[in-house]
Amino acid sequence: MKLNKELFKDQFLEKLMTMHVKSLEETSNAERYRTLSSLVRDYISKKWIASDQHYQQEGSKQVYYLSIEFLIGRMLGMNLLNLGIYDLCKEALAELGISLDVLEKAEEDPGLGNGGLGRLAACYLDSMAAESLPGHGCSLRYRYGFFEQKIVNGYQVEVPDNWLDQGFPWEFKRSDQTVSVNFGGNIRVVSNDKLRYLHENYDTVFAVPYDVPILGYKNDTINTLRIWSAEASEENFICSTADMLDCVTSMEYTKTVESLSSVLYPDDSAYEGKVLRLKQHYFLVSASLQSIIKNYKQRALPLDHLADYIAIHINDTHPALAIPEMMRILIDVEEMGWDEAWKITVNIFSYTNHTVLPEALEKWPIDMIQNLLPRLYLIINEMNERFCHELWNRYPGDWDKIRSMAIISDHTIHMANLAIVGSHSVNGVAQIHTEILKTRVMNQFHQFYPTRFNNKTNGVAHRRWLLKINPRLSSLLNESIGSSWISHPCDLLKILKYADDHVFQEKLARIKRYNKSRLAEHIRDVQGIRIDVDSIFDSHIKRIHGYKRQTMNVFHIMHLYNLLRENPDLDIIPRTFIFGGKAAPGYHLAKQTIKLINTLATVINKDKSIRDKIKVVFIENYNVTMAELIIPATNVSEQIPTASQEACGTGNMKFMMNGAITIGTLDGANIEIRNVVGDNNIVFFGLTANEVLELHEHGGYNPWDVYNKDERIKTVLDQLINGFFPVGTDEFKSLFESFLYHNDQFFVLKDFASYADAQLRLDQQYRNRNQWLSMCVHNIAHSGKFSGDRTFTEYAMDVWNMNPTISPQCYCSNDDKFTSRLHGCAFTSKLQQTISSNNIHVPH
């Protein structure tokens, strides 16, 4: 029977009673949330089975996206939207006196990810399901997330993110599909007719899968995110009342095993932490591959056709051990020869690089792999020898080159090299990033494998980052251009015709103001800070890191504050500077940056002399849910990394979709945003990537020159250590020294003047209301290109060799008149061919 409000209310009340044995009035919001999610789970289950069966019958190729993180965010609202019953449930609940908004807020953010890489993985799951492509995620079920950030006396304090405390209603435990993962032990080689490698004396850990349904948008497709939990094997658990020692040992053993999936990014500053991370990586890949192969075999397809039916994507190098693990399974378990196994493996795997920062390029000491994964070590060694042999044939005698490209060198296993050698495709995540990989970071590999490298500019789930989080803007879009943009995001271009329509602009302005008032309320209620809804909301929300240059933003605010103290009548548009982000626990300077922002906030926010012209807010525990509140309320999006260092950025895309104007450097996707919106609709400044890279090559620059020449910078830097702040004068000494005594690694001082100019321009532009609103419309209109639907379609066709049902309407354009829909588009030539062979009309 088709769901209607009455039926829904009956089902909801029935479920509430059976789950909690209470009347409606007696239940808490948390109980009502659990009731509603359980009901939605029931709706999903039936569709999930049907979706699985459909894939089986179609015999479709399956893609598995292996990632150490999936930052999926709250699920209730998205699931209701995807099922097409959001409004129905909202209205029906309202009739029962319940607010759906309130129930949505009772959901904890899942602690399965931390940053850009994890959120991107979640966005692709959304897109794949929306396009009915069989794409599934594989990750770990962390008992605790990265950490919950508390701000105490201005400092970041990390407390455990106990996100599973009240249970996770969206997971389905599949104990029957448990697999074992083996660690340690030794390898015995036996030879009868052929060599066999027997793994002995190992420790077994059970990997128990939990499946999370991933819903497509109103299309009945349900894919799966499989997250693995570590459990102790029973045979190692000996606990008799007669021997308490056994009991204690067994319990300790269980604890050690469970620690494997207990926390995301365990501290790896000590040896034990590193081992734990390596164990996590192998646990993820071994469990996932075993289950992928088991699934494949159930389809009764020949093993030598594996690469025709499955594709496995490695999200950064964390899951790169999947390559030797696949070789292990094919050779040791399936008894294939090396050459055949290798060909299949390379055809199956593809790898995305997400960062050029050297410290994030993973390396493992040989002995760690040897001890923990003895069979994988032999396989990696063999891969390395064969690869070095190829290198020798191509570059005889060039030992330096061979050493730098080898998988194993200097007693270390280089995971990026392993991932490149073992994949048929390697990609960067924005045009400039891919260029940097090809010409610098991975230049030697690009010369060796010229066709292996390609670009896939990131995209985000616009159904979450626009449709869901900005319902008023979505309604305005639907009224003005229809709702086709929800499935074909490039149709957002149709609103360009309203760019200069003052009635439309005013509607847009009212929506932004409403969103700002929601955020202002939250900040008032949670942090006790009152902010002016009519001030410019300027947001800088992302991981706290030197290269993301929160410090440059802070220095500019300090400079503005200095000007205002001298002249409280200074003519500036009032601004609220909003920061949010976590610092890695061991990253001292990033943690000091948080302390600096909070200290500045306390000084500025209470200074009545500047007449509330500027305010500073640091949002505690920045996560997906906070981003969902901040992004629709933002006027100015800070995207100011040191050029060349931000692989892509995805926050920039989410802000643009919601009508914020970017102030940014020429880096990552900022450049591609500029290419579609044009120079008039974005504010750029700063050194280019080439300038930064050249300066780096010549040992940097002298920051004292800037300090001595630019009075603004001198004043601000001195204020860090001269008692200006109500903290000890040593508090910010390490920050101060990082700029002047450690060469300003991220070119903050060098770019400051240009940044301050850009901020002035922005302030001027904001004064021209219609012009500003027109800029906002241009940004929203061109954001379709940055939907994950576009990116994933490119992956599907270019990398995974699949045939997605592409959206022919999805084109991109560089101009207002829709003239160059295809030419301005970053789509691959294959997609363009598909578009032309489908006779799609491109209007002029």
DSSP 679: G
Nearest to ligand 26V of 280, 535 (CB atom)? 280
Query: What SS3 class is residue 568?
Result: coil
Catalytic residue among 438, 488, 542, 559: 542
| Residue burial 385-411, b: 16+ Cβ < 10 Å; e: rest | eebbeebeeebeeeeeebeebbbbbee
Structure tokens belonging to residue 42:
């029931």
Q: How far is the CB of 114 from ligand 26V (least distance, A)?
A: 5
CA neighbours closer than 13 Å in the CB half-sphere of residue 580: 22
Q: 604: part of which helix (H) or strand (E)?
A: helix 588-605
The angle, 0 to 180 degrees and rounded to 10, between the axes of the packed helices 711-721 and 733-740 is 150
Strand bridging mode 575-580 / 536-541:
parallel
Furthest-apart CA atoms within the chain: distance in Å: 90
Nearest to ligand 26V of 360, 721 (CB atom)? 360
**Sign of the torsion angle spanned by Cα atoms 788, 791, 796, 797:** positive
In the numeric block, the tokens 């590193």 are attached to 274
Residues forming the site for ligand 26V (CB under 6 A): 114-117, 120, 265, 316, 354-355, 360, 429, 458, 584, 646-650, 668
Nearest to ligand 26V of 158, 612 (CB atom)? 158
Q: How far is the CB of 466 from ligand 26V (least distance, A)?
A: 18
Catalytic residue among 9, 54, 543, 696: 543
Catalytic residue among 61, 354, 516, 582: 354
Q: How far is the CB of 655 from ligand 26V (least distance, A)?
A: 13
Catalytic residue among 345, 551, 650, 662: 650
Q: How far is the CB of 572 from ligand 26V (least distance, A)?
A: 31
Query: What SS3 class is residue 816?
Result: coil
Q: Which runs of E-coded beta strand occur in 407-475?
A: 408-409, 412-414, 425-428, 453-455
Known active-site residue 654: yes
Q: Which amino acid, residue 174?
A: R
Q: How far is the CB of 637 from ligand 26V (least distance, A)?
A: 14
Known active-site residue 375: no
- The CA distance from 790 to 418, in Å, is 29
Nearest to ligand 26V of 35, 317 (CB atom)? 317
Q: How far is the CB of 34 from ligand 26V (least distance, A)?
A: 31
Strand bridging mode 536-541 / 636-639:
parallel
Q: How far is the CB of 69 from ligand 26V (least distance, A)?
A: 8
Closest CA relative to residue 622, chosen from 674, 555, 560, 548: 548
The burial class, CB within 10 Å (0-12 / 13-18 / 19+), for 781 is: buried
- The CA distance from 99 to 97, in Å, is 7
Nearest to ligand 26V of 158, 220 (CB atom)? 158
Nearest to ligand 26V of 316, 491 (CB atom)? 316
**Sign of the torsion angle spanned by Cα atoms 834, 835, 838, 839:** negative
Q: How far is the CB of 419 from ligand 26V (least distance, A)?
A: 14
Known active-site residue 548: yes
Closest CA relative to residue 69, chosen from 543, 634, 729: 543
DSSP 149: E
Nearest to ligand 26V of 52, 158 (CB atom)? 158
DSSP 619: E
Nearest to ligand 26V of 673, 773 (CB atom)? 673
Known active-site residue 178: no
Catalytic residue among 654, 750, 782, 785: 654
Strand bridging mode 349-352 / 135-140:
unpaired
Q: Which amino acid, residue 253?
A: Y
Nearest to ligand 26V of 48, 146 (CB atom)? 146
Q: How far is the CB of 147 from ligand 26V (least distance, A)?
A: 10
Q: Are the C-beta atoms of residues 158 and 149 closer than 8 Å to each other?
A: yes
Q: Which residues are catalytic?
A: 354, 542-543, 548, 650, 654
